[in-house]
């Protein structure tokens, strides 16, 4: 039995790896820091963790060396955000070393007493692709960074652009998104570190094949605006002023940009996938993500219908409350201290 007197240690690679701070791991750790009890400890040094403690590994990955190869604390919790590379191996090919690491990671996953993931969709994938018992996996819907909930920024009326916030992996479906934007003849701003360098010749890794096509498709096209990484303040302004947030992913473990947009009343056009119906409910517009013609038609329809966008904005604000900081804190304590 584990009681609330057991100290909790969260492994935090951003303490020694500055690059992690601007990746997804940095944002999730920021959310943990803002919402976990003040006596929980963030560390990058596993040797300093006492055995009578609870270890939380916030990013369990499969193609890197295992973080631990033996039990180092009484209770160990792994957070697996998604298993997309395992689910679509043809789009995420790996070499011998990564394959070896994946075998080790799957084996050493047995050292963890429980697993946390971001959605029911991801939970089902973990059960299917990792052969984990469902009762070992808990869903903890992420919340947002405090800056979203505390924002006082108001729209002065939507500007004439759509917004995409995220990275450029295959599941993001960027090449088809580009085709649709061209057909709809609209402007879209792309936010994320990956968009700082738009030269397609710099993206030759097999995992970047779709990103390579995307940058070839968008070269010298003024309808595509690339900001690279932006500050939280700039990001809030972009969401508030956007006519639409678009996220046409082939698959996701969650969908942060939908919730970020929803919290600020920005309506979203999402792919017609299981994960987005779970996350957004009826608070977004949906479209077949594999058909650029249908995406373009839906996008134009929404951009020309201010009443529809206002209705989606209102519903999105309501849906965002499902991911409140209070809900996240309550569930976090329940899964870390299950008894």
Structural domain spans, the chain: 8-143+324-336, 146-322
Flag whether pLDDT at 5 surpasses 70. yes
Least confident of 10-19, 187-196, 210-219: 10-19
What pLDDT sits at residue 330? Answer: 97
- Give residue-wise pLDDT tens across range 43-74: 999 999 999 999 999 999 999 999 999 999 99
Inform me whether the pLDDT recorded for 206 exceeds 70: yes
- Answer whether 8-143+324-336 and 146-322 agree in fold: yes
- The widest CA-to-CA distance across the chain, in whole angstroms, is 61
pLDDT-above-90 percentage for the chain: 91
Q: What pLDDT, on a 0 to 100 scale, did the predictor assign at position 77?
A: 99
Fold of 8-143+324-336: Rossmann fold (3.40.50)
Q: Which CATH architecture has domain 146-322?
A: 3-Layer(aba) Sandwich (3.40)
pTM of this prediction exceeds 0.85: yes
- Amino acid 24: pLDDT: 63
pLDDT per residue as tens digits for the range 92-133: 999 999 999 999 999 999 999 999 999 999 999 999 999 999
């Amino acid at each position: 039995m584990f009681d609330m007197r057991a100290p909790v240690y969260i492994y935090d690679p951003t303490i020694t790896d500055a690059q992690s701070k601007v990746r997804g791991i940095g944002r999730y750790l920021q959310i943990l820091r803002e919402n976990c009890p003040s006596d929980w400890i963030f560390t990058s040094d596993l040797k300093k963790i006492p055995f009578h403690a609870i270890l939380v590994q916030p990013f369990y990955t499969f193609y890197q060396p295992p973080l631990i190869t033996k039990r180092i604390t009484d209770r160990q919790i792994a957070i697996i955000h998604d298993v997309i590379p395992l689910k679509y191996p043809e789009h995420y090919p790996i070499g011998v070393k990564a394959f070896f690491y994946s075998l080790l990671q799957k084996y050493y996953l047995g050292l963890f007493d429980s697993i946390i993931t971001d959605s029911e969709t991801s939970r089902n994938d973990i059960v299917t692709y990792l052969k984990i018992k469902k009762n070992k996996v808990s869903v903890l819907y992420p919340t947002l960074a405090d800056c979203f909930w505390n924002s006082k920024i108001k729209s002065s009326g939507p500007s004439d652009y759509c917004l995409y916030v995220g990275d450029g992996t295959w599941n993001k479906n960027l090449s088809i998104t580009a085709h649709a934007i061209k057909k709809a003849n609209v402007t879209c701003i792309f936010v994320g570190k990956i968009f700082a360098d738009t030269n397609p010749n710099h993206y030759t890794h097999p995992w970047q094949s779709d990103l390579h096509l995307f940058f070839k498709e968008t070269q010298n096209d003024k309808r595509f605006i690339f900001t690279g990484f932006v500050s939280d303040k700039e990001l809030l302004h972009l969401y508030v002023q956007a006519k639409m947030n678009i996220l046409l992913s082939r698959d996701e473990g969650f969908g942060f940009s939908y919730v970020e947009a929803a919290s600020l009343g920005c309506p979203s056009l999402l792919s017609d996938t299981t994960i987005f119906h779970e996350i957004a409910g009826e608070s977004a517009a949906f479209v077949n993500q594999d058909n650029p013609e249908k995406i373009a038609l839906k996008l134009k329809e929404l951009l020309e219908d201010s009443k529809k966008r206002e209705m989606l904005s209102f519903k999105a604000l309501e849906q965002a409350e499902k991911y409140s900081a209070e809900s996240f804190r309550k569930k976090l304590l329940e899964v870390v201290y299950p008894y």
